[in-house]
Structure 1
Amino acid sequence: MKLFGAHTARVNNLVRAFGVMMVSCLWLVQAAQANDFKINEIIVDGNRRIETATIRSYTEIETPAVLTTGAVNDAVQRVRASNLFESVSAEVQGNRLKVTVVEFPTVNEVVFEGNDRLGSKQLSALVRSQSRRVYSVSQVRDDANAIAEAYANQGRISASVEPRIIRRSDNRVDVVFEIVEGGVVEIERLSFVGNRKFSDRRLRRVLNTKQAGLLRAFIQRDTYIEDRVEFDKQVLTDFYKSRGHIDFQVQSVTSELSKTRDSFFITFRVQEGQQFSFGKITTTSSLEDVDAANFEKAIKVEQGDIYSPTLVESTIARMERRALELGLDFVRVEPRVTRNNESLALDIDFILSRGPRVFVERIDIAGNTTTLDRVIRRQFKIVEGDALNPREIRASAERIRALGFFARSNVTAQEGSAPNQRIIKVEVTEKPTGSLKFGANYNSANGVGLVASFREANFLGRGQATSFGVNTTSSTRNFNFGFKEPSLYNRDLSLSFGLDYQGTSKNNARYNTGSVGFDAALGFPVSESGFLTPKFFYETEKLTDVTTSSAVITGEASEGDRKTFGLGYSYSFDNRRTGLNPKAGMFLRLSQDFGLAGDARFVRTNVKLGGETYVRNEDFKVTATLEGGALNYASGSSSRVTDRFFLGSGLFRGFAPGGLGPREVDSSNSINDALGGEYYAVARFETQFPIGLPEEYGIEFGAFLDAGSVWGLNSAHVGSGTGQAPANTIFHDDFTLRAVAGVSIFWNTPIGPLRFNFTDAVKTAEHDVEQNFDLTVSTSF
């Protein structure tokens, strides 16, 4: 009976609990029905600038409607999400929903306080909060972060920016950015761990980041900027891999803040790996109609050369161009690399295969507010309808970046209207391309000079370059103007013309000179590193105010002005940046001018051949240069002192201007005048190297040896007993070898690069004028 009674009690409890639950559910349903609102109208209160209809659209409620409390709350949140209001609330008034808003105030003024290193104009360009615009809390926060980042880019990572709001009448506010600039956090030391092939000094030269040194007040690259360090990691990787260290890795970069919190110690931990060279280089074709032998001439690298990914890429590009020359479309070249760890060589097999048949549908360009589309489009070697070549797209992107017109550029290939179509999309951000410079220079030959120049690299957005320059010293004057169209008729053909005036006033001589020259030239590439430029030129020159008793110079001045028309050309070759060896290269400059009409007939030839390389793990730079020139006049014409060659310190160190070469000497009449020569030849050998001073000081040493001569004199006023010239003595009309040895100090300073040359003449000739010290400096500001 007790068990039965307990069971009955439990059943009764369950029944009572079920009853309570049912009553609760019924109450909830009734409560929910009681919170439903029938809304026939939405009214808005508090808005002054923003239309009522706009606010109603933000609620996303269409009347009439039946709303729950949750639906009303959702509508309020949607209005708040517009970021136009400081506060939003809603209440139901009968059949109406009243939405009350408080609009954000209008910005009355944006003020910067505490800024010294960055001016208010610079900061105004960084912030987006501006007067007469709606105040936004999130925007002001972003502006404060942008200002702090600008200071961080100057190395002031401790700078703080606190925005403050001052309420004004008529719902206006002043936005005040209170700035504490803090001090510059410099890079006290840049060091490397794990480098054995290259010294710390050599690797520091690669990096964009620099150590702080004596000139830390002027040099800006010694400040710590995180993005620059990330860039340096990639630069360091490219440096090693281009020299065969294919396994190179930057394992880590540690930035340790000093105890005084005013400097960083940055350490690059690297793993160099072994240096690899090219092994066997072969070409294989998987296509029946393609003979691999036709592509072997495009391979310039040889077995034993230091391996470089850049050389592999350039070889592939040449082979693909070869395929186009043979009329073969969609030929793809893929390198198959076989690693040989024993011989430290990489065998490369260039495999020719058929790539996917994908075409360029169109090229879209965006963001170029100034630069014309055609300037960007001509950087592509392909047009709409051509076969898509990803490597050519990458090369085009590099050419666009190399223009220097854009702060940012991005080239991507996107899906087109069909599976075999691609749209090439180019997005760029313009940047200023003009520059106005004022500066000064000094050298011991001409003294102090002033320099002013203007250059616009993208004139009217057409990609054309214009320049104007003035360079004067106490005894020299130079004015020049130039214009260049780099792509005439959208072809790989440049058109340029220039106007130049040069004048001297007793510049290391006892006479004045003046010359005006005009030339117009067409230029075009003739090889991967060669460029040919034919030209037309006009020259006029005069010799005045002669105060010397030199019979030659006096007689030449009596001829008056000379005017000459002619044709010429110049050829240049330079593979120091694009050659097979990243540590060496050569250059050649050859030019000839043919005076065909006017007061003189002549052929003027100049040639310069040189090469440079790095030795001792690239710590020593060695340069050798051979340079020469010749003036050949037709019968009936002769050279003048304004035409002939004078070897200044830039060509032959150790001698004063006009200090060697043909001279007219008469001691009884105090005549010792340099006449210049119609031929010259100079060989210069130089090495530049560090001497153990901290790299951040920018001081290096050099040693050099110059040897050569200037000779030859074919003037109508040279002679004795002819009635045209007295019997003065002409010295060194024939080749007389001179040689000079010396040392140099190179110093990169904030006011410009300085070079100190200390020389000692090894071999001289009678009446030569030596110059044992020479200093040059130039700067722009």
Structure 2
Amino acid sequence: MKAGSNFLNAVSAVALSASMVVTGGSFATLVSATVAEAAVIRSIQVRGASRVSADTVKANITITPGKNFSNTDIDASVRRLFATGYFSDVKISVSGSTLVVTVDENQLINQVVINGNRKIKDEKLTPVLRSQSLGPYSETAIEADKQAIRDAYASIGRSDATVTTQVYPLGNGRVNVAFVVDEGDRTKISQINFVGNQAYSNSRLQAVIVTKKSNFLSFLTRKDVYSEDKLRADEEALRQFYFNNGYADFRVVSSEAVLNEASNEYVVTFTVEEGQRYDFGEINVESTVEGIDGDELKGLVESRPGKIYRARDVQDTMSEISRRVAANGYPFARVTPRGNRDLGNGTIAVDYLVDQGERAYVERIEIRGNTRTRDYVIRREFDIGEGDAFNQEVITRAKRRLEALGYFSTVNISTAPGSSPDRVVLVVDVQDQSTGSFGIGAGYETGNKGGFKLEASIEEKNFLGRGQYIRVAAGGGENSRDYNLSFTEPYFLGYRLAAGFDVFKNEDDSEDYYSVDTQGFTLRVTAPITEDLSTSLRYNYTKLDYNSGDLDELSSPYQHAVVNGPWVRSSISHSLTYDTIDDRTLPREGIFAQITQEFAGLGGDSDFYKISGKARYFHTLLEDADVIGSIAVSGGHMWGRNDVKVFDQFTLSANDLRGFESAGIGPRATSTRDSLGGTTYFTASAEASFPLPFIARDSGFRGAVFVDAGTLYGNDVKTVAADRVRGDDMSLRASVGASIIWASPFGPLRVDYAVPIKKESFDEVQRFKFGIATQF
């Protein structure tokens, strides 16, 4: 009796008040309790539930029989029940010692269909819908789904797409839902304007941003699709461009896109303030961390007094110092640059302060926005994980790695408070972009069996969203066939090791007196040493079937210089690569250098040692005119043992020395004019590229002028006594020419026209060449 009296006293002290709550687009009457002292109920009764079980309702409320509850618990229970999406109305009241939960169920969706969508298929739209078959019908979810479909169309440039719904009752509380899409016309970008820019022209700045004006290829590139995210990314691209060219005070005042509804075209306008251009002033490194001497860290400084101020140099310096200090046992150390402007001299003195930062740990890494790329592909670019010490420089380095992958149009990393003051949540926002490409190339082979040669390739840099690289290529002409397959796993066995293979088969019957079929494979693995330096190891297996054919037609006493195959070459090779190129598609600054050594003799018929190297330096000659200069050199030498085969020696391709055919220069057999290759080669090249005049820079067309020089000499191939070898001296060849380069939607294409200005009479010339643009 006493317990029952206490319960009745508690209930009598509760003043019940009714309030209207708008949730999920429906009105729910919530009877909440203003509690004088906590109430207790003995049982829960569910009313109105038919398809949803009473146990499911009870599982989604926070009130338990026998335990105290308050109005806060009632509010939370109502919210949780609405959040399930199964109910259009919820009422909670107390009747004696019983909590009564009265619900009105939403209708159940039998089937969801999308009609009118031609540009975006069902398999891409269905995953973004909250309304699903056998799920509850909710007006809130329907409105969210309509917006999701509109957003999907806006991402392909159809911002005026409209979405309506049709609901078909089936009885027994079930309905069919149809989303009807009117795709509308594709929006375009007619103009991109800049206001306030003095140092750089509109055309130069248009080349910096991602958004492009509409042109005849926009339906393939989709670079003329307007979105707020792209506009924010363009603002950041402009800031980085100016910051890295000395304009430390630069800011984007505003950016806006105005839609002309009559023409369905956007006009995009960026208003900027450039500010003054600065050089680096005095540079110092100070440390307040015990055991860390600032003077010893000065050797890590990238910025130098008198050089143009570049934010990239400051960031690289911070990264190097942070990495060194962390390696010395100070994971929480913080590197802060302090800039002191001297407006009169136009310099910025930079002091790098190393201090002991706050102790903070990464609670979790939250990844958002990736619709195609797997989470683990993004996570593995971070050198830290959950529970590790938070270090801002490590985060910045991860951001650069993610951007360099080329999988995302935008990458943004921010922080949010964790569950305690010393916990940080990393929030990674990315936006996937297309990573596949189709390439096509062509060339013309001279000689009696010459003719056009074509090649087509398909390349995917983010295969199935796993970050894997795959390329398939096939080509040929009237007398040749080429097939290639390449695959790379960038994180082999979970380590930062890029492992992969190449399989190839080539058939060549283009020469007069011989044919050669080549097939084989390469196994390779590449490991990073630093951010810019890497090392690679390869195993190479090649089978060459050389057939000299019927030589009866050759005049006596000449005989063929090369013994028929097949031959097998089995070798291992090792490369060291230094790469600071800023952009793989259109390099403007940086160095690419590589040295390779190869040893053959692991079985097979070849036995030699080769060493070769190449380097190319890029530098912007005229910033506003976007004139880019480059200088390249290469060279190699081989030491052969026993019987050196003709295909073991070096040959120069048409890319190494433009104006000449592949294997068009160097030692050659007099009887058949067969190329024998050479034991030593050197090449040098200078080139300047520039936007083509009278053609919009957004089209991706550039011109180039170049001069190439090189030589290939020396011969270790044994020939028959009656045959002679010519062209084995160091005679120099040279050519000059011009090119048209197009950053096409199918990949970078290039047309070269070169005229040899120094050659030998027996050299094979190829003035015109069309194919994939290669830089390295």
Q: TM-score range by the shorter chain?
A: 0.7 to 0.9
Secondary structure at the residue paired with 1:767? coil
Q: Per-residue deviation at 1:341? A: 0.4
Secondary structure at the residue paired with 1:627? strand
The residue number in structure 1 matching 2:591 is 586
Give the counterpart of 1:395 among 375, 379, 397.
397
Deviations, residues 663-709 of structure 1 (Å, cap 9, x unaligned):
3345xxxx443333332222121111112311233222111111112
Taking the aligned partners of 2:300 and 2:95, their CA distance within structure 1 comes to: 85
Q: Per-residue deviation at 1:354? A: 3.8
The residue number in structure 2 matching 1:188 is 190
The residue number in structure 2 matching 1:652 is 657
Taking the aligned partners of 1:487 and 1:150, their CA distance within structure 2 comes to: 35
Taking the aligned partners of 2:100 and 2:319, their CA distance within structure 1 comes to: 70
The residue number in structure 2 matching 1:512 is 515
Secondary structure at the residue paired with 1:217? helix
Secondary structure at the residue paired with 2:133? coil
Secondary structure at the residue paired with 1:317? helix
Cα pair distance change 1:374/1:471, threshold 3 Å: closer
Give the counterpart of 1:626 among 630, 633, 639.
633
Taking the aligned partners of 1:696 and 1:611, their CA distance within structure 2 comes to: 25
The residue number in structure 2 matching 1:731 is 726
Taking the aligned partners of 2:145 and 2:280, their CA distance within structure 1 comes to: 53
Q: Per-residue deviation at 1:281? A: 0.8
CA RMSD in angstroms, aligned pairs only = 4.5
Q: Per-residue deviation at 1:519? A: 5.0
Residues 1:561 and 2:556 aligned together: no
Check conservation: 2:193, 2:268, Cα contact below 8 A: yes
Cα pair distance change 1:643/1:576, threshold 3 Å: same
Taking the aligned partners of 2:703 and 2:380, their CA distance within structure 1 comes to: 46
Q: When the two structures are aligned, how many residues end up with a matched partner?
A: 710
Q: How does 1:193-208 map to 2 (within 5 A)?
A: 193-208=195-210
TM-score by length of 2: 0.79
Q: Per-residue deviation at 1:162? A: 1.1
Taking the aligned partners of 1:477 and 1:578, their CA distance within structure 2 comes to: 29
Check conservation: 2:663, 2:675, Cα contact below 8 A: yes
Deviations, residues 267-290 of structure 1 (Å, cap 9, x unaligned):
111111111111001223446654
Letter in 1 for 2:269: T
The residue number in structure 1 matching 2:50 is 48
Check conservation: 2:300, 2:317, Cα contact below 8 A: yes
Taking the aligned partners of 1:583 and 1:438, their CA distance within structure 2 comes to: 24
Structure 2 stretches lacking a partner, 5+ long: 1-17, 19-40, 67-73, 446-451
The residue number in structure 2 matching 1:542 is 545
Give the counterpart of 2:769 among 760, 774, 778.
774
Q: How does 1:576-615 map to 2 (within 5 A)?
A: 576-577=581-582, 584-598=589-603, 599-615=605-621
Deviations, residues 627-660 of structure 1 (Å, cap 9, x unaligned):
22323213x32231x2233333221211233333
Taking the aligned partners of 2:544 and 2:512, their CA distance within structure 1 comes to: 17
The residue number in structure 1 matching 2:688 is 687
Taking the aligned partners of 1:75 and 1:354, their CA distance within structure 2 comes to: 47
The residue number in structure 2 matching 1:339 is 341
Secondary structure at the residue paired with 1:557? coil
Residues 1:754 and 2:759 aligned together: no
The residue number in structure 1 matching 2:22 is none
The residue number in structure 2 matching 1:473 is 476
Give the counterpart of 1:575 among 564, 575, 580.
580
Check conservation: 1:758, 1:773, Cα contact below 8 A: yes
Residues 1:740 and 2:735 aligned together: yes
Letter in 2 for 1:266: V
Taking the aligned partners of 1:152 and 1:375, their CA distance within structure 2 comes to: 26
Give the counterpart of 1:125 among 121, 124, 127.
127
Residues 1:530 and 2:533 aligned together: yes
Q: Per-residue deviation at 1:484? A: 4.7
The residue number in structure 1 matching 2:26 is none
Letter in 2 for 1:557: V
Taking the aligned partners of 2:731 and 2:170, their CA distance within structure 1 comes to: 87
Secondary structure at the residue paired with 2:221? coil
Q: Per-residue deviation at 1:153? A: 1.4
Identical pairs, percent? 27
Cα pair distance change 1:85/1:545, threshold 3 Å: same
Q: Which moved more, 1:82-91 or 1:55-64?
A: 55-64
Deviations, residues 36-62 of structure 1 (Å, cap 9, x unaligned):
xxx999987654202346668989999
Check conservation: 2:561, 2:669, Cα contact below 8 A: no
| The structure with more radius of gyration | 1
TM-score by length of 1: 0.78
Taking the aligned partners of 1:152 and 1:205, their CA distance within structure 2 comes to: 23
The residue number in structure 2 matching 1:675 is 676
Cα pair distance change 1:253/1:495, threshold 3 Å: closer
Q: How does 1:92-103 map to 2 (within 5 A)?
A: 102-103=104-105
Taking the aligned partners of 2:326 and 2:60, their CA distance within structure 1 comes to: 59
Deviations, residues 194-246 of structure 1 (Å, cap 9, x unaligned):
11212212111111100012323333111222221121111111111122211
Q: How does 1:697-712 map to 2 (within 5 A)?
A: 697-712=699-714
Q: Per-residue deviation at 1:712? A: 2.3
Cα pair distance change 1:373/1:776, threshold 3 Å: closer
Letter in 2 for 1:626: V
Residues 1:617 and 2:623 aligned together: yes
Q: Per-residue deviation at 1:125? A: 2.3
The residue number in structure 2 matching 1:69 is none
Q: How does 1:297-446 map to 2 (within 5 A)?
A: 297-324=299-326, 326=328, 331-356=333-358, 358=359, 360=361, 376=379, 379-380=382-383, 388-396=390-398, 399=401, 412=415, 422-423=422-423, 425=425, 440-445=440-445
The residue number in structure 1 matching 2:455 is 449
Taking the aligned partners of 1:152 and 1:293, their CA distance within structure 2 comes to: 54
Deviations, residues 509-548 of structure 1 (Å, cap 9, x unaligned):
6433244555555544445522233455444433135356
Cα pair distance change 1:301/1:167, threshold 3 Å: same
Q: How does 1:276-291 map to 2 (within 5 A)?
A: 276-286=278-288, 289-291=291-293
Secondary structure at the residue paired with 1:673? coil
Taking the aligned partners of 1:153 and 1:405, their CA distance within structure 2 comes to: 16
Taking the aligned partners of 2:455 and 2:345, their CA distance within structure 1 comes to: 58
Cα pair distance change 1:436/1:273, threshold 3 Å: closer
Taking the aligned partners of 1:346 and 1:628, their CA distance within structure 2 comes to: 42
